[in-house]
Amino acid sequence: MNDTSWIDRTAYPFAPHYFEIDGTRMHYVDKGQGEPIVLLHGTPTWSFLYRDAIKVLAPRYRCIAPDHLGFGLSDKPEGAAYHPREHARRLRALIEQLGLRDITLVVQDFGGPIGLSYAIEQPDNVRALVVANTWLWSLRGELLPELAGRVAGSQLGRFFFRQFNIEVRTLFRAVWADKRKLSRTIYQHYLKPFSRPGDTQGQWVFARELLFASDWYESLWARRDRIKDIPALLLWGEQDMLFKARHLDRWQALFTNVQTVTFPNAGHYVQEEAHERFGPLIGKFLARRLEEVS
């Protein structure tokens, strides 16, 4: 998008970078030096979600936070391939273009299957994982994800996404545990990237793909042993409407070297509701990892 005057540069003081792929431009943050941390958002968020974590981590690490195509400051062409598998392909291309080695992946929401698919394909290039309120398996049979997928997959659902930006205006608010933390200023930074009706195409596809990409999620989960020995930090909001304690249990059972921190008063977006702890916890986790291998 061309007009970025609405961005609070005190909150988000990062120079823009762009990656060209498939005739489109993906925006990403590239801040700091050192071992790379790739921070991946879901829907309807963008790299703004990680602004506080980047400020904490950039003095010691190189922080790369892309905006998926269709989100944030990236292009939002109608009719583009917005399926999670395609986002994963673009992520891999970005990582290869930047020559990133020994990556720490930070994933949440749709950033989970998108980012962890890279870890499954290239486990030798991933030194650590930070997993927050996400999944890597079929959500068939789970009430809210299946309902959201079926509604979004209908013509009526597409209409509401396109005409009313329903995800940001309604669903985004609903998954916060303490809505008082969602200030008007913060909310505007999630609303403004979708200023035109056609800009919500990526959101709509993601909502639909909660259900309709189930076979892809299951194919990833079937290969989960490829990442089970990667050191992992789980940062989990306990008041999430979508991902519950049983989902956290799955992650804890997967990893052989895992640390878990839960946030009893946070919902789906722990990066926002627990922002004062999110970045520092990642920093401590990585510092401990460096001590273990030195």
Q: Is 109 a known active-site residue? A: yes
Q: Which among 82, 100, 85, 75 is positioned nearest to 19, based on CA atoms?
A: 75
* C-alpha span between 99 and 119 (Å, rounded): 15
Longest dimension (CA), the chain: 56
| Active-site residue identified among 75, 199, 240, 247 | 240
Q: Which CA distances in Å does 266 have to 96, 262, 270?
A: 35, 9, 6
| Active-site residue identified among 27, 87, 247, 268 | 268
Q: Are strands 24-31 and 17-21 parallel, antiparallel or unpaired?
A: antiparallel
For the CA atoms of 221, 227, 230, 236, the dihedral, rounded to the nearest 10 degrees, stands at: -10
Bridge-partner residues for 29, per DSSP? 65
* C-alpha span between 158 and 136 (Å, rounded): 25
DSSP assignment letter at 58: T
Q: Is 268 a known active-site residue? A: yes
* C-alpha span between 84 and 96 (Å, rounded): 18
Q: Which CA distances in Å does 259 have to 45, 218, 235?
A: 26, 25, 9
- Bond preceding residue 123 cis, omega within 30 of 0: no
| Active-site residue identified among 30, 109, 199, 247 | 109
User: E strands within 22-111?
Assistant: 24-31, 36-40, 62-66, 103-108
Which residues are part of the catalytic machinery?
109, 240, 268
